[in-house]
Amino acid sequence: MQNQDMPYRVMQKGNCTCTFYLKDCVAGLKENIEEKSVDVVVTSPPYNIGIGYKSYNDSLPREKYLAWMEEVGLAVRQALADDGSFFLNLGNKPKDQWIAWDVASALRKHFVLQNVIHWVKSIAISKSDAGNYPNVAGDIAVGHFKPIVSNRFLNDCHEYIFHFTKQGARRLDKLAVGIPYQDKTNIGRWKAAKEDRRDRGNTWFIPYETIKSKSERPHPATFPAKLPEMCIKLHGGAKLVADPFTGIGSTALAASRLEVPFVGFEIDREYLDAAIARL
Ligand SMILES: C[S@@+](CC[C@H](N)C(=O)[O-])C[C@H]1O[C@@H](n2cnc3c(N)ncnc32)[C@H](O)[C@@H]1O
């Protein structure tokens, strides 16, 4: 029997340590993490949309689910530094387009919603709308999504990343996830434009990596590691990153790529083993 107060695994990745607990995240955040010690939390909880997780029932009564999400939020708040960032990824299902916003509302009493980022999984851009850009040669349709067969609902090609902070005043490293200017004459023209990089805005196109078989992604609801990587970079200067709902370790992977120590919780041993193997 695993002693849940001890880490399930501690891994050394270069100069940083990744610590994984096989444990409920509310208990873990309270018992295993020093108060105000985490700079960045990037996480994606279950959305309560009936996903077939191995160790978790994703179909709770709505009120119970929201009360639990508030409890998670409070535990995150306790672990988070006063100038920390809590990036909460959430999506909806076609017949219930309020889930993400209901969870965000449940956290409203405890955090300031500093930014709302749209994680765009797939997008189509017509050449005629793109304008006269030399890099756009024709119509574009990129990214992956699960098709929705319906005459009522559109394919769901985006999710939310709610960026919560304690005071709404975290200074961000926007250029760390910035993009080059399309029109280079902007460089030097504006006071802020000292280099060929600008704020990319709050629509982030991050496609899923293409996989050949399910064994490459042994989990039903992951985000690409690039998503937490961008959140950690945007916050800037993180010394400890946490993911209460680790899954197969996408946030751990991102933190280790950026050489920032990581701590994560997950209740399912198989997912945690996959995270460790992935790292
Ligand atoms: C949406 S998934 C996270 C996937 C992760 N972002 C990734 O890319 O691999 C949510 C995870 O939360 C886990 N989970 C559910 N209840 C939990 C709890 N009380 N404490 C910790 N993990 C939990 C589930 O087993 C599932 O793996």
What per-residue confidence (pLDDT) applies to 76? Answer: 98
Question: Which residue did the predictor score with more confidence, 245 or 136?
Answer: 245
Span of 9-18, 101-110, 116-125, 267-276 with lowest mean pLDDT: 9-18
DSSP class per residue in 156-195: --EEEEEEEESSS-PPP-GGGG-B--SSGGGTTTSTT--S
CB of 234 closer than 8 Å to CB of 176? yes
* Residue closest to 39 by CA, chosen among 228, 223, 266, 275: 228
Give me the pLDDT at residue 1, please.
65
Report which of residues 211 and 166 the model is more confident about: 166
Taking CB atoms and a 6 Å cutoff, what residues make up the pocket around ligand 1? 24-25, 44-46, 53, 55-56, 219, 221-223, 244-245, 247-250, 265-268, 271
Given ligand 1 and candidates 44, 56, 69, 208, which is best to mutate, with the most ligand atoms within 8 Å of its CB? 56
The proportion of the chain whose per-residue pLDDT surpasses 70, expressed as a percent, equals 98
Ligand 1 centroid – CA 37 distance (Å)? 22
Is it the case that residue 2 has pLDDT exceeding 80?
no
Torsion sign (Cα): 228, 158, 106, 113? positive
| SS3 at position 20 | strand
The predicted-structure confidence for 81-106, as pLDDT tens digits, reads as follows 999 999 999 999 999 999 999 999 99
* pLDDT value at 69 more than 80: yes
By the 10 Å C-beta count (0-12 exposed, 13-18 middle, 19+ buried), 65 is classed as buried
* pLDDT tens-digit series, residues 175-210: 999 999 877 777 777 767 778 899 999 999 999 988
Q: How many CB atoms lie within 10 A of CB 243?
A: 27
Show the tokens assigned to 3. 């002693």
Q: What percent of the chain has pLDDT over 90?
A: 84
Calculate the average pLDDT of the chain: 94
- Pairwise pLDDT comparison (193 vs 22), residue with the higher score: 22
pLDDT for the residue 68: 98
Domains annotated on the chain, with CATH: 9-278 (3.40.50.150)
